[in-house]
Amino acid sequence: MLSAAALAATRSTLRARAPLVHNLTSAVVANFTANALLAIGAQPAMVESAEEVTAFAAIADALVINIGSLTPARAEVMRLAITSAVAAGTPWVLDPVGAGAIGPRTAFAREFAALSPDAIRGNASEILGLVGEAGFGRGVDTGTGSEAAVDAAKRLAITTGAIVAVTGAIDYVTDGSRVVAVAHGHPMMTRVTGMGCAASAITAAVLGVEPDRLRAVAHALALTGIAGEVAARNARGPGSLMIGYLDALATGAA
């Protein structure tokens, strides 16, 4: 599923079809997310008003809901966008940033997880938080290895119908029965904000062009992980890693 040829084909499809990805995300990562999508060949849009999100569902190829900086007003816009996407058959991805760390956010993440996402991508603490198990995370990072959340991810996939990805040193992608391991990436990526958010956005982009959802999510994580590996070769620290990652997403050099 993750051969170089298969990944190259997905990359070519992304460039040829340039899926329009609607992002409802945090201001912290909005710029980096948009640049990651552009680099890999997708087309980002960050429309965020109640009036526009409904109209936008008719033309977007995929939607990302990232709860990184959530407010009640933004949550309401997210509900509208999700409703429109589900009605239109547009695939959508939930990034449950910080779920499990504090109560209000966990409640929002669980509400959204029940609204038929096509994929959910989080770290171990977030996936454990979503299913009601305690991780060791504080804030949005995680102190828990991704393998510790694989069982939780399988249960979450079954109850939500989503493909669930637990990302970490190794990423695990599951539909509730099958589990695909993606062993790409570099530890320095954890020192750049929004790397997980970019992975979620690229997941949405691939879901916009690839109907096999398990394959789509695994490919998205492999493409982003490989870009991080390529960037790490020449990086002098997290700043140059971030820039090299965008370069590598675009050039596909591996």
* Site membership for a copy of itself, residue 185 (CB under 8 A): no
Q: Which is nearer to a copy of itself, 81 or 249 (CB)?
A: 249
Alpha carbon distance 72, 36 (integer Å): 27
Which x/- pattern, by CB under 8 A, does the window 138-167 give for a copy of itself? xxxx--------------------------
111 binds a copy of itself (CB under 8 A): no
Q: 204-243: which residues touch a copy of itself (CB under 8 A)?
A: 235-240, 242-243
List own/partner pairs for 8-17 with CB under 8 A and 24 or more apart.
8/252, 10/206, 10/209, 10/210, 10/216, 10/219, 10/223, 11/40, 11/41, 11/223, 11/252, 13/209, 13/210, 14/40, 14/41, 14/42, 14/205, 14/206, 14/209, 15/41, 17/61, 17/208, 17/209
Tokens of 162: 């989503």
Looking at the Cβ atoms of 113 and 246, the one nearer to a copy of itself is 246
Q: How far is the CB of 55 from a copy of itself (least distance, A)?
A: 4
Taking Cα atoms as reference points, which of 48, 115, 90, 104 lies closest to residue 205?
90
Site string for a copy of itself, 122-141 (x = CB under 8 A): ----------------xxxx
Q: Which of 69, 83, 116, 159 binds a copy of itself (CB under 8 A)?
A: 69
CB of 248 to a copy of itself, least distance (A): 7
202 lies in the binding site for a copy of itself (CB under 8 A): no
Quick one: which segment of 48-56, 155-163, 166-174, 209-217 binds a copy of itself (CB under 8 A)? 48-56
> Order of strands, edge to edge, in the sheet holding 62-66?
43-45, 20-24, 62-66, 92-95, 119-123, 163-167, 171-174, 179-182
Token pair for 180: 């695909």
Q: Which is nearer to a copy of itself, 42 or 164 (CB)?
A: 42
Give, as ranges, the residues between 12 and 41 that touch a copy of itself (CB under 8 A). Answer: 20, 26-32, 34-35, 38-39
The span from the CA of 232 to the CA of 68, in Å, is 26
What is the spatial distance between Cα 75 and Cα 63, in angstroms, rounded to a whole number? 15
Q: Give the residues lining the site for a copy of itself (CB under 8 A).
A: 20, 26-32, 34-35, 38-39, 43-52, 55-56, 59-60, 68-72, 98, 101-105, 138-141, 190-194, 235-240, 242-251
